[in-house]
Amino acid sequence: MWINAFIVCVLCIAWVKKKTLNSNEKILLLLGGSRFYFLCFSRVHSFLSTIYPYYLLVHPVMQLLLGASSSFNCSNLWISACLCVFYCIKIANVRNWFSYLKVKIDRISPWLLLGSEIYSLGIGILVYNIIDKAVCENINFTCQGRFWKANITLDEHFFPFYFITGLLFVTSFTAVISSALLLLFSLWRHKHNMQTNSMSSLSMDAHIKAMKSILSFLVMYSMNFITLIVTVIYSTKEDKAIMFLIYLFLYAFPGVHSLILIFSNPKLVKILLRILPCVKCKVCMK
């Protein structure tokens, strides 16, 4: 949460100072915000389920927490996929129509982000309705109806949610793989042209840096995709050890990838290195 909060704060301060943000910064700002709130709502749900489990049975606490968490998780997946596509279009040089996209990408990206947020909001509303319906059909009222004791069968009520979520994961994962392959092909083609023409180019460094970012993200995204599939399989089974490992990776993914994005951005690294000595001094004083 602190890693993503750092990204959001730095970009918001830059937004106030410059009065504007470029497309890359807008994507990073929304990505950091969605990941922060996803971890925040997940943390609240975990805290309540451990310390005050009966409070989750108060309507509509559980519905709101799971709906919001699903919405921000969906936003996280879509916006991270948009970031990979943005890097690919900005740097790759494959066909003539890529030149058209390079010019238009700064105008297209706000609409892509808006569409991602609207779709994520729809997923959150869908999750809220599914959980609310499942609870309402499987409740026993106690304490004058203020608390619910739910006995919900996941297979019966949550199949539409699993289907839509799976479609979301497959679509975003396909976008990430396509971006990585196109960028890899562009890098190979650019290197071949340089060897043929015996010339050097600074765009080779840009290709390599973008390729490192996308490949690192592709590895993590692949592991995250597999973990999410395993989550669906084991969600109806009471295997606490496997579920612990699954949730450990799911909650680590937004922080680790955001850390990679910070170290691949010179501005964010510079500000982070400037802040760390101050934090270290305050800790030593305490």
Per-residue pLDDT of the chain (286 residues; tens, 9 = 90+): 889 999 999 999 989 988 888 888 889 999 999 999 999 998 888 888 888 877 777 778 888 888 898 889 888 888 888 888 887 777 766 666 566 677 777 888 888 889 889 988 988 888 888 877 776 765 544 443 434 444 444 445 566 666 777 777 778 778 878 877 777 777 777 666 665 554 455 556 666 666 666 777 777 777 777 777 777 666 656 667 777 777 787 788 888 888 888 888 888 888 888 887 765 555 455 5
Domains of the chain with bracketed CATH: 1-139+150-193+206-280 (1.20.1070.10)
Tell me, rounded to whole angstroms, the distance of Cα 207 from its chain centroid.
Answer: 23
Which stretches of the chain are assigned E, i.e. beta strand?
A: 139-142, 147-150
Q: Is 154 helix (H, G, I), strand (E, B) or coil?
A: helix
In this prediction, residue 10 carries a pLDDT of 92
> What are the structure tokens assigned to 24, written together?
């890359």
Which stretches of 65-195 are assigned E, i.e. beta strand?
A: 139-142, 147-150
Crossing angle of helices 203-234 and 240-263, in 10° steps, is 160
pTM over 0.85: no
- Which one-letter amino acid corresponds to residue 128? Y
Q: Rounded distance, CA 26 to CA 18, Å?
A: 13
Q: Is 100 helix (H, G, I), strand (E, B) or coil?
A: helix
Peptide bond preceding 110: is omega within 30 degrees of 0, i.e. cis? no
In this prediction, residue 270 carries a pLDDT of 86
